[in-house]
Structure 1
Amino acid sequence: MTVDPADDAMLERLQRGAFEYFLKAYNPRNGLVADTMREGAPSSIAVIGFALSAYPVGIERGWMERTEAVRRSLVTLRFLMGSDQSGSAHATGYRGFYFHFLDMELGTRVWLSEVSLIDTGFLMAGVLTAATYFDADTIEERELRQLANALYRRVDWRWAQRDGGAVTHGWKPECGFLNYGWEGYSEAILLYVLGLGSPTHALTDESFPAWTVTYQWENLYGHNFLVAGPLFIHQFSHAWIDFRGIRDAFMREKDCDYFENSRRATYVQREYAMRNPRSFTGYGADCWGLSAGDGPQAEARSIAGRNQTFYGYAARGVPYGPDDGTLCGSSTLSSLVFAPELVLPALRALEARSGTNDPSLIRASGFNPTVAEAGPNGWISPGEFGLDQGMIVLMIENYRSGLPWRLGRANPFVRAGLHRAGFKGGWL
């Protein structure tokens, strides 16, 4: 792919800066990675998955030695394999799954968090990425592959499937399974693919149709697509799986695929910002992207004749909201593979506003120009969030070289899961 040299330099700056998060947020004693750079933040198992996926990118880009990446990955995988899987209130996980948030030093559950299905899915995506990439016949890389294979095989996906249908969101030792499941289009497409591909505790064939039957297909701003309001939903699974040209039964009926669907969702996001129905400051053709992320907790104010409150951390989306004027630059960037013709101008504009040496508008978890009293670019989320940085690293790399997609295509468990979900065509 030919990229303008100035754009390539911009992407290099952003990608390398995001990659360095995983060097700073890593605990060398157990391999855990912090959820955010804020003081006292716990580890997030999803962010660990992004770290394991980012190390191969760092090697290929010359930012990390292969031996160092193997060493870091082994520390993480050894801890995960040997951690407490009893499911007690102070354990690390249960039935191969892991609690969402873990103490950075002890590796035990914090914040009364749930055993998280989707976050374990992101973790396992990183585990399988590492297993596929580190293919050398050395003692260390053989051990890495063995640990990765054992961790994936240990996950009891079937246990978390409700009545043979959709998969539950999670489980807590205090109350059992949570009352809601993964229904309605979301980032859980990765979860279903990994669960269906398991050679040991796979989801049943009924699971994927039970999920897709809850989809909502609409026409918005002239685009027919599978609706999900927050932008991240159209991106996260695509960090590891190349959905270009492969279709399940639902997409065959719609003469579409999930990659094209995400491209259309990107156009809908931009169109919403251009129309700016709630009259927020800054929205426009090169300033868009509503997603899950941090937001201000500023005082309410009158905007366009209504009393506007602010939501703090929230999953914002279009066109139905919630929307409080907060945008997520990392989610804008993460649509790069789908619509570079929209994303690159937006990134240039954001860099022009903040300066090339200040990537905060792009790499922060959120910014809100409407809260103008917070600074010249409005309110900007303090610190960095690991999920945002991981998506920046992987989605830029998919745009530049396709490495994460190639590793996903080469993994037999991912391929098996896609086949069982009914995907056909393209590279399959």
Structure 2
Amino acid sequence: MTRILLALLLSTSLFAQDLSDEVVLEKVQKATFQYFWEFGHPVSGLARERSNQAFGYGDETCTTGGTGMGIMAMIVASERNWVSRKEAAERILKISRFLEKSPRYKGAFPHWIHGETGATLPFSPKDDGGDLVETAFLIQGLLTARAYFDQNTIIETELREIITRIWEEVDWNAYVKDQVLYWHWSPNHEWAMNFALRGYNETLITYILASASPTHPIDPNLYHEVYAKGDHFYNGKTFYDLSLPLGFDYGGPLFFTHYSFLGLDPRNLKDRYADYWEQNVNHALINYRYCVENPKGFKNYGPKCWGLTASDSPKGYDAHSPTNDIGVITPTAALSSFPYTPKESMEALRYFYEVRHKDLWGPYGFYDAFSDEQNWVASSYLAIDQGPIVVMIENYRTGLIWKLFMQNPEIQIALKKLGFTWK
């Protein structure tokens, strides 16, 4: 009996080492996708903000930006036959119908929506209106779905029509005040949030969609006169012998290379400010090399255990980066960087899946974050960390989501208006 048990334990601990990279990638993508499919809100289909009720969030709290990422994950699931095309179209149609009936603010959605009623849930006391950046993440997913579901069936036709209406009703220009594009507007507090979209971060997609709108576009000069003139836009320094054209020193949290680029294809994407492939590859490599160097000596940092981005931590949500490192590794950081760092990301994936499977793997893939330094593993999943894993691994494998989003004619027109080249 002892020999049999030992054999079983050994086979369990080594189970993934006989699997090919493609098989492990598929397993991770599929499990992560279930967050949106199995755990999506039963009434609306929207993506729940998180899987637990920590930090005051409840089961009804759904995320607009995370829903956009979940929609893209559903397209991957359809293409890979984890669900049927019809099932995916029906779920996204359910989501779209619900969104069309939900309150909007000058056409923009709030950060959080009550998953059953559609009511706005304030993100903070004065953030109870439109959130233009979260709306951009949502629209990025919806436009990808409109490109994918191109068949002349009743379901897919209605889906395309609703998506187009939602897209065209966003008044991006209404979020411009005194020739500056702002993140928020509230009917109760108006511009009190006072968050101008300046400087390089995760909001690039907002400017592209705001310029692409066929009904309410912003002046494209705002991209050059506001966004590109903000603090922390230009960088130009080198870190670990890698040039970083834009952004914060060491690049900031890695989600800067993910959120805008789930649909926006950075390959060969250039403007007067940067080559965005170089920007993202070097940002990811700087993050990797920082973890390998491990200047603070945190436990288990290294070539197989790396990745700093925003996630849960033992003391709450935090935007981890080389300049804000508290010893927390977030799997989405390395896994969503697969297009930029395939070798380094695969090493991390193998380590997380094979060596750390027992403590890091749960019902929807890898838990949100962990700290060996503090002997802590999150019990949570977050939509905005789950979505990029599915989507960016797929972009690494096939380029599917990049191809679909970039097919939208409005996007191509906007990129030309803003001075981008991408072919």
Q: TM-score, normalised by structure 1?
A: 0.86
The residue identity in structure 2 corresponding to 1:331 is: A
Q: Is the 8 A contact 2:267 2:422 kept in 1?
A: no
Classify 1:139/1:186 alpha carbon distance in 2 versus 1 (closer, same or farther; 3 Å): same
The answer for the alignment partner of 2:280 in structure 1 is 262
Q: How many residues align?
A: 387
Classify 1:425/1:336 alpha carbon distance in 2 versus 1 (closer, same or farther; 3 Å): closer
Classify 1:370/1:418 alpha carbon distance in 2 versus 1 (closer, same or farther; 3 Å): same
Distance 1:170 1:135 in 2: 33
Counterpart among 419, 422, 428 of residue 419 in structure 2: 422
- Partner deviation per Cα, 1:79-100 (whole Å, 9 max, x = no partner): 111223xxxxxxxx21111111
Distance 2:360 2:299 in 1: 21
Matches within 5 A, 1:112-261: 112-113=123-124, 114=127, 115-165=130-180, 167-177=181-191, 178-209=193-224, 210-214=226-230, 215-217=233-235, 218-225=237-244, 226-227=246-247, 228-251=251-274, 257-261=275-279
Matches within 5 A, 1:404-423: 404-423=401-420
Distance 1:71 1:265 in 2: 38
The answer for the alignment partner of 2:356 in structure 1 is 354
The residue identity in structure 1 corresponding to 2:228 is: T
The answer for the alignment partner of 1:13 in structure 2 is 27
Structure 1: runs of 5+ lacking an equivalent: 85-92, 252-256, 298-311, 373-378
Structure 1 stretch displaced more, 207-216 or 236-245: 207-216
Classify 1:146/1:206 alpha carbon distance in 2 versus 1 (closer, same or farther; 3 Å): same
Q: Give the deviation of 1:370 after TM superposition.
A: 0.5
Q: Is the 8 A contact 2:43 2:115 kept in 1?
A: no
Distance 1:171 1:381 in 2: 33
- Partner deviation per Cα, 1:118-156 (whole Å, 9 max, x = no partner): 111111011101111100011221111111111000001
Distance 1:423 1:381 in 2: 40
Q: Give the deviation of 1:293 after TM superposition.
A: 0.6
Q: 3-state SS of the aligned residue for 1:176?
A: coil
1:284 paired with 2:295, answer: no
Distance 1:220 1:162 in 2: 37
Counterpart among 95, 105, 114 of residue 106 in structure 2: 95
The answer for the alignment partner of 1:44 in structure 2 is 63
Q: 3-state SS of the aligned residue for 1:98?
A: coil
- Partner deviation per Cα, 1:331-357 (whole Å, 9 max, x = no partner): 111110011021111211222331389
The answer for the alignment partner of 1:308 in structure 2 is none
The residue identity in structure 1 corresponding to 2:345 is: V
The answer for the alignment partner of 1:56 in structure 2 is 75
Structure 1 stretch displaced more, 196-205 or 381-390: 381-390
Structure 1: 4+ residue segments shifted above 6 A? none
Q: Give the deviation of 1:191 after TM superposition.
A: 0.8
The answer for the alignment partner of 1:394 in structure 2 is 391
CA RMSD of aligned residues (A): 1.9
Structure 1 stretch displaced more, 349-358 or 389-398: 349-358
The residue identity in structure 1 corresponding to 2:340 is: F
Q: 3-state SS of the aligned residue for 2:334?
A: helix
1:78 paired with 2:97, answer: yes
Q: Is the 8 A contact 2:31 2:365 kept in 1?
A: no
Q: 3-state SS of the aligned residue for 1:284?
A: coil
Counterpart among 310, 316, 319 of residue 315 in structure 1: 319
Structure 2: runs of 5+ lacking an equivalent: 1-17
Q: Give the deviation of 1:362 after TM superposition.
A: 7.2
Distance 1:295 1:270 in 2: 19
Distance 1:396 1:164 in 2: 38
Q: Is the 8 A contact 2:360 2:367 kept in 1?
A: no
Q: Is the 8 A contact 1:350 1:362 kept in 2?
A: no
Q: Give the deviation of 1:161 after TM superposition.
A: 2.1
Q: 3-state SS of the aligned residue for 1:43?
A: strand
1:32 paired with 2:34, answer: no
Q: Give the deviation of 1:36 after TM superposition.
A: 1.2
What is the percent sequence identity of the aligned residues?
Answer: 33
- Partner deviation per Cα, 1:47-91 (whole Å, 9 max, x = no partner): 11112212211111111111111111111111111223xxxxxxx
Distance 2:298 2:408 in 1: 45
